[in-house]
Chains A and B, each alone.
Chain A
Amino acid sequence: MLKYIIKRLLQAIPTLWIIITLSFLLMHSVPGGPFDGEKVVNPVIKANLEKKYHLDKPVYIQYGYYLKDLLHGDFGPSFKYKDFTVNQLIYDGLPVSMTLGFYAMSLAIIFGIIFGSIAALKQNSRLDYFIMIFAQIGISIPSFVTAPLMILLLAVILNIMPAGEWHGAFDFKYLIMPIIALSLPMIAYITRIMRGSMIEILNSAFIRTARAKGLSEFRVVVRHALKPALLPVVSFIGPATAAIITGSIVIEQIFGLPGIGQHFIKGAINRDYTLVMGVVIISAFFIILFNLLTDILYAYLDPRIRYE
């Protein structure tokens, strides 16, 4: 098992490095720097600033500096917000986005598994049919449609929920709408995955054996079917993390939440190199981390993988 973990770690690190490098190249392939297009700056000051940030050096040297700083956990200063370092901006925004993402993912996993299992156990019944229709709708309607509609209905018309502020990770009144809007497509995806996988498992030979042993249906489902049925859901958590991260950009925008998604958009528009790269790298880091964790979880659940 340990060998497996180490192997996966060794695969994850180059991936992160590639992303860092790609982002860097992308940022530097574009004409225009962070100090262009601003109010006219004294050319001497501009030259000094550029020297300070190594912008006068060739690209590969800038790359070297960047990597060095990264290894020290330093994302560098924000080019746009002169008084802040990227680290600060990220530290401000990250908890917001993480809270949002955590709640949304938890909701998605819990409800996805529950709905999917119910649909599978009652396959082809009306309940199953309705669950699947709702799941399909949940996948099809984009979050930037559901979110404003929710605001319209709940905040404007019915006026039962506030919208568009951040009051910390535990003031749920302000969190409900963004979390639901963010998690809805994920709940739908996981419901479908869980249903499909549960149905497949329930039709498999070893479940028939379990029934032939006289076990109660409850035991058959919980002790024999559930764990293997969960495997595709576990595999999905990796891509789901990526989806939630991208989804949260939109949600933060709509609800005006001060997360790192907002920083990303502003940074992209302002050509704030370091900020944008910081956000991309942090996001990639989390995605890779979650992929790694889910791979390990998968190996834990499936004994056949463990010993390869």
Chain B
Amino acid sequence: MNNITGRSLWQDSYKRLLNNKLALFSFIFLITIIFLIIFAPYITKYPFDDTDWGAMLQSPSFNDGHYFGTDLLGRDIFARTLFGGRISLMVGIVATLVSVIIGITYGSIAGFIGGRLDHFMMRIVDILYALPFMFFVILLTVFFGRNILLIFLAIGATNWLDLARIVRGQTLSLKNKEFIEAARATGSSSWKIIYRHIIPNLLGIVVIYVTLTIPATILAESILSFLGLGVQEPDTSWGVLVNEGAQNIQGAWWTLVFPAVFLSTTLMCLNFIGDGLRDALDPKDR
């Protein structure tokens, strides 16, 4: 008997994802970093904002607990890197959440109402696409103060365009009456259609979008902080640390290298995972 067991889309994707070694390694790496960051208070010997005038610009050493050395003010780089990571990741996640909310809302309204409003809303998206958002984020943070909430909102407000477009497309296809009529004709209720067809499609896309937007938002926050416009003292983020490190390049490479490595690796891992997810859910003959 020739029995072909059908494979659902999810099973196929899952298998492809697991085969993607790069994505897998990145995932493990990322989990490790997140682990370190979450348990920072238990692994760091020194608080991150504790200045120690007796230990300025000390190179990394295992013995006294300054694993990554100290900075200009004698603060422990290891602790600063981990605690800075908290801020960077938090901004990344929250700002992405803001993006997702704006994107889904905007897109579904445009798609649902359709017609002239949809056309108009999409024209705005086209225009916004062309703009350098960093400019406006910088302006916003300079003028309205550097509080962290504003940073979340400002960065989140710069990344929602792609998601809005996709959600709008999906909503339009939902609205398509023939589609619904056909489903009704075969006995499905509208909720079943939404549940079975629209949401799985949308879910995949949102997941991919999130994994690719988080690095973008972390990056945006880092640039802001690097320019001195981001998180304020005493908080720190990877962007701030890289900035500080860049100023001490000559003679104190550890102030730059460790935060830079953490930042870059996190971004890379997220990107590899995002790529892997995208390939798994929508393979284009790699």
Contacts and interface: CB of A to CB of B under 8 A. Distances in A.
Asked if A and B bind, the verdict is yes
Interface of A: 15, 18-19, 23, 26-27, 29-30, 123-124, 133, 136-137, 139-142, 144-145, 147-149, 151-152, 156, 196, 199-200, 203, 238-239, 242-243, 245-246, 249-250, 253-254, 264-265, 268-269, 276, 280, 283-284, 287-288, 291
B284 interface: yes
Interface in B234-286: 239, 242-243, 245-246, 249-250, 253, 256-257, 260, 263-264, 267-268, 270-272, 275, 284-286
B260 A19 contact: no
Contacts of B267: 140-142
A140 B256 contact: no
A15 B268 contact: no
18 contacts: A15-B130, A26-B136, A26-B143, A133-B22, A137-B268, A140-B267, A141-B264, A142-B263, A144-B246, A196-B284, A243-B132, A246-B132, A246-B223, A250-B223, A250-B227, A269-B142, A287-B130, A287-B131
B222 A144 contact: yes
Nearest to A137: B268
* Interface of A: prevailing SS: helix
Question: Which of A29, A30, A291 has the most CB atoms of chain B within a 10 A radius of its CB?
Answer: A30
Interface of B: 22, 127, 129-136, 138-140, 142-144, 215, 219, 222-223, 226-227, 229, 239, 242-243, 245-246, 249-250, 253, 256-257, 260, 263-264, 267-268, 270-272, 275, 284-286
Contact of A124 (B22, B142, B143, B286): B286
B127 A15 contact: yes
Report, nearest first, the 4 A-B pairs whose CB atoms are least far apart: A148-B246, A140-B268, A30-B143, A246-B134
Nearest to A265: B227
B249 A156 contact: yes
A5 to B, nearest CB: 17
A239 B135 contact: no
B130 A283 contact: no
A141 B268 contact: yes
A245 B132 contact: yes
B132 A144 contact: no
Contacts of B132: 242-243, 245-246, 283-284, 287
Contacts of A238: 130
Contacts of A30: 143-144
Contacts of A27: 139, 143
B246 A142 contact: no
Contact of B284 (A19, A26, A142, A200): A200
Given A136-B268, A246-B134, A148 B245 contact: yes
Most buried by B among A141, A199, A238: A141
A258 to B, nearest CB: 17
B25 to A, nearest CB: 12
A136 B272 contact: yes
A30 B167 CA distance: 34
A12 to B, nearest CB: 9
Nearest to B245: A148
B249 A152 contact: yes
Contacts of A268: 138-139, 142, 229
Contacts of A139: 271
B120 to A, nearest CB: 12
A242 B130 contact: yes
Given A148-B245, A152-B256, A288 B130 contact: yes
B110 to A, nearest CB: 18
A269 B142 CA distance: 6
Nearest to A244: B132
